[in-house]
Amino acid sequence: MCVSITSSSHVKRLCYILLVLLPIACSNGIPSISPLDSNAVVLAFGNSLTYGTGASTAESYPAVLEGLIHRKVINAGVPGEVTSQGLARLPEFLDKHQPALLILCHGGNDLLRRTGEKQAADNLRAMTRMAKKKGIDVALIGVPKPGLSVPVAGFYEDIAREFDIPYEGEILADILSTSSLKSDMIHPNSRGYAELAQSIAVLLRKAQAI
């Protein structure tokens, strides 16, 4: 009969490897970003989906997210804005609030107005690049195209992969295809915004930001 005896040093080495690999495995492939200090500022930047059209100010996703992650979340959403306008507006907000994290949920109006996906993608790339040059982490939220099946525009995933940033590409499509979570055809209601905030909080945990 053979008996296998594992040395204590070997056990310690295995434990160390598991401790190193566990966060990676738990992240489900989500790129990690810097942990947010308790006094860190998060800038939620976008259009009406960020502003919270269809719900009260306290029910917008930035307001709900602030309570979930226990960090200050600035609501920098402007209804009706396209990405070219957002790109022009972003520098002032980055300088004013000096966020540790930018949550970018923009481009829906470009898609609605069919101004060109390439232009929207280029503007989002420029916003991401601008933030990262200032040492600000970026998380990206994919926005669906208009239509019955509400598919998310493919360039969002391309941008997330290109910049290696955390990305949530399913939640808005799920919300906007569920009537009980919508205030109208293109905006969530309070329940929808709460689900959006929950999904972003999960994304930030997987990215080891909180």
pLDDT in tens, 39-83: 999 999 999 999 999 999 999 999 999 999 999 999 999 999 999
Q: What single letter denotes the amino acid at residue 95?
A: D
Average pLDDT in the 11-27 region? 43
Angle of the 190-206 helix axis to the 61-69 helix axis, nearest 10: 40
Query: Model-level pTM?
Result: 0.85
How many C-beta atoms surround the C-beta of residue 172 within 10 A?
24
Cα 153 from Cα 59, distance rounded (Å):
26
Topology of domain 8-206, per CATH?
A: Rossmann fold (3.40.50)
Q: Nearest to residue 199, comparing CAs of 72, 100, 61?
A: 61
